[in-house]
Amino acid sequence: MVVMLFAVGCYAPDPAAGAPCAAGGTCPEGLVCSPASQTCERTAVDARVDAIRDSAVTARDAPDAPIDAATTATLIQAARSYASPSTSLAVALANAPAAGHVLVLIAGNPHAPLATVTGGGATWQLAAISPVYANVEIWFGVTDGSSSTVTTTDPGSTAPMSMLLTEWSGLATASILDGAVAIDGTTSPASAGTITTAHARDLLIFAISDAVPNTFGAPAPGTWSALPVLDNAVIQAAWYDVVDTAGSFAPQVTETAHTWDAALVGLKIAP
């Protein structure tokens, strides 16, 4: 009986798991300190599971990482100008454009076509023109930010001249043009025809020059935003749409004068 009592008195039960680790990360013999929970566990496997569990909880509770927004074309500013009759015309943006932005000029002159487009700190490229009735021309260039004034000339003109100048961010700065078409017509709706783009994302600009008086509807299909209208001896209207897939585009717009020129261009959005 005495021997039995002695054996019971000397027996030490297994240390309990889950207690906090002592200073320095030490635990009673038979336990290891979990680095994640700072508690004593029976095996290193338990400690590793704790770490994985706690890491998962941390990831779950952490706020979502911000997702970079895709670059898009943004209209920064616009200005318009008109003179009649005139052999040259200038238009100035209210603020100096930012270097690397793209300037787009929509011009009209029934004498057509324009002889030169200069200024704006850009080298200008003609994208599309239909010169039959009221004339519509779409030009573009990448600005270096050195000038906010663009000038057009047509030395032989005895007709009115009109210009709409816009500045855009988010567009490519090389090989910008992704499609262009222009045509004239005498029935409603007005349409420039179809462009088929290859780039994943484009800024589409649809422009009409027409006789006055005139009333335009809304271009369709697509979701189009209107640019400022010039309504003088001729009316010049334009709209833009940002598309997220390559494909074929052929917007139309109703009009009431029935002697129109229309142009449609696609400009690449930067990747």
pLDDT digits (tens, 9 = 90+) for 31-58: 777 665 677 766 654 444 444 445 444 4
pLDDT digits (tens, 9 = 90+) for 127-160: 999 999 999 999 999 999 999 999 999 998 889 9
How distant, in Å, are the alpha carbons of 166, 188, 210, 259 from that of 256? 26, 7, 9, 9
Cβ neighbours for 55, distance < 8 A, ≥ 6 positions apart:
36
* pLDDT (average), residues 67-80: 83
Query: To 10 degrees, the CA torsion angle through 89, 93, 99, 105?
Result: -50
Q: What is the pTM of this model?
A: 0.75
Q: What is the DSSP letter of 212?
A: S
Domain ranges of the chain: 17-61, 74-268
Token pair for 43: 């095996």
Amino acid in the structure at residue 206? F
